[in-house]
Amino acid sequence: MAKSVQQMSMGGDEPPSQYIVKGNSFVSKDSSALIPIPIIDLSLLSSEGELQKLRSALTSAGCFQAIGHGMSSSYLDKIRELAKQFFALPEEEKQKYARAVNESEGYGNDRVVSDKQVLDWSYRLSLRIFPEKNRRLSLWPKIPSDFSEKLEEFSAKVKSMMDYLLRSMARSLNLEEGSFLDQFGEESLMLARFNFYPRCSRPDLVLGVKPHTDRSGITVLLQDKEVEGLQVLIDDNWVSVPTMPDAFVVNLGDQMQIMSNGIFKSIMHRVVTNTENMRMSLAMFNEPDPEKEIRPVEGLIDESRPRLYRNVKCYGDINYQCYQEGKIALETVKIEDNSD
Ligand SMILES: O=C(O)CCC(=O)C(=O)O
Ligand SMILES: [Fe+2]
């Protein structure tokens, strides 16, 4: 049987060919000193100044670091600790929550859809959180014993932060507060993904996560407290997102690019590996109810900015299909001809 990423990591093995990303080198020039990631204080979003900063962050970069969100430093440490405790369990225990071959929920590595697929140097635990009826509690870890309770509490806090952000995003464009949030519907989806990146002997050839945009509406990411790895593509430069222990990274996803008629940018990002330290992150994805149609907000369409995207349902499925076929999902929902 092929060795697992964890076994290879511990042995310091040379990564096998399926993990090697061709035609690229990741020890690239780091542009973070030149292109800073915007920082937005959520407690100031009632002021016009901060709102304009938010708008500018989302129209240029498509991501920012969120501070002033009301969750304490020690609380965030506890959440990170929960993730670390789970990943530190013996493999046998973690396998109790293993992802089924054709599913994405549960514990494991990449779902393999083609022989040509380049594999990510990572482990994940993906769990559906909202709507509550979608939860598969058999996949929620029993150890640490407070895992479910803590995750549930954290998810509720993140959900209200996301709702507040979606309202603020609408206000920043002089729209009705509910212009984006209402499109998510009462049954909007939330998914938690715990990512774990073991050390890798060849960070120059292997990625923790390949370049992608999130299919979500928005993504709120709790980064590792110390170990960097996330990079975002801004103006054709890969920029490292610095660790800020008390901040969340907020990434705009594809579905908000659609709803904002392309004004807000869904950010391309990737995760690099390193030889020294393992890294963890916890990504919370918020998506509109797949049964509801989403569309560019009317107030963002005019003659100078014609409608860019058609009405879309079940974007998650479209995105997955495109991923398998090597297509860019957003391109397939674009309106090609705006002349009539
Ligand atoms: O680990 C990270 O910092 C980012 C993970 C990510 O992009 C994802 O889970 O979609
Ligand atoms: Fe992502």
With the most atoms of ligand 1 within 8 angstroms of its CB, the residue from 37, 80, 195, 273 to mutate is: 195
Cα 252 to ligand 2 centroid, rounded to whole Å: 10
- Residue 33's pLDDT band, with cuts at 50, 70 and 90, is low
Q: What is the pLDDT of residues 190-223, one digit of tens each?
A: 999 999 999 999 999 999 999 999 999 999 999 9
pLDDT at 340 over 60: no
- As a whole number of angstroms, the distance between CA 57 and CA 38 comes to 6
Of the two residues 12 and 22, the one the predictor is more confident about is 12
- φ/ψ bin of 14: left (φ > 0), alpha (ψ from -120 to 50), beta (otherwise): beta
pLDDT at 40 over 90: yes
130 and 159 in contact (C-beta within 8 Å)? Answer: yes
User: Which ligand 1 atom is nearest residue 269's CA?
Assistant: 7
315 and 328 in contact (C-beta within 8 Å)? Answer: no
- Residue 137's pLDDT band, with cuts at 50, 70 and 90, is very high
Domain ranges of the chain: 14-332
- Per-residue confidence (pLDDT) for residue 332, from 0 to 100: 96
pLDDT at 187 over 70: yes
At position 233, the amino acid (one-letter code) is L
pLDDT at 264 over 90: yes
- Per-residue confidence (pLDDT) for residue 206, from 0 to 100: 94
Q: What is the pLDDT of residues 143-181, one digit of tens each?
A: 999 999 999 999 999 999 999 999 999 999 999 999 999
- Per-residue confidence (pLDDT) for residue 111, from 0 to 100: 80
Cα 256 to ligand 1 centroid, rounded to whole Å: 18
Compute the C-alpha angle 217/159/48, nearest 5°: 75
In 172-268, beta strands by DSSP E: 189-197, 207-212, 218-223, 230-234, 237-240, 248-252
How many other CB atoms are found less than 10 A from the CB of residue 148? 15
Average pLDDT over residues 12-33: 76
Ligand nearest to the CA of 229: 1
Cα 271 to ligand 1 centroid, rounded to whole Å: 7
Of the two residues 26 and 67, the one the predictor is more confident about is 67
Q: Which of 136, 269, 279 is nearest to 215 (CA)?
A: 269
Summarize the chain as % helix, strand, coil (round to 5). 35, 20, 45
Lining ligand 1 with CB less than 6 A are: 193, 195, 209, 214, 221, 223, 229-230, 269, 271, 281, 283
User: Which residues sit with Cβ closer than 5 angstroms to ligand 2, an ion?
Assistant: 214
Q: Strand, coil or helix: what is 160?
A: helix
Q: Which CATH superfamily is domain 14-332 in?
A: B-lactam Antibiotic, Isopenicillin N Synthase; Chain (2.60.120.330)
- Per-residue confidence (pLDDT) for residue 115, from 0 to 100: 80
- Residue 282's pLDDT band, with cuts at 50, 70 and 90, is very high
- Per-residue confidence (pLDDT) for residue 325, from 0 to 100: 85
- Per-residue confidence (pLDDT) for residue 149, from 0 to 100: 98
Ligand nearest to the CA of 195: 1
- Per-residue confidence (pLDDT) for residue 35, from 0 to 100: 85
* Strands, sheet with 123-130, edge to edge from the N-terminal-most edge strand: 39-41, 63-67, 248-252, 218-223, 279-287, 189-197, 123-130, 106-108
- Which residue CA neighbors atom 3 of ligand 1 most closely? 230
Which residues, at least 6 apart from 42, have a Cβ–Cβ distance to it below 8 Å? Answer: 66, 67, 68, 69, 70, 161, 164, 165, 168
pLDDT at 28 over 80: no
Q: Strand, coil or helix: what is 302?
A: coil
> Look-up: residue for tokens 């549960």?
106
Cα 121 to ligand 1 centroid, rounded to whole Å: 12
Cα 182 to ligand 2 centroid, rounded to whole Å: 24
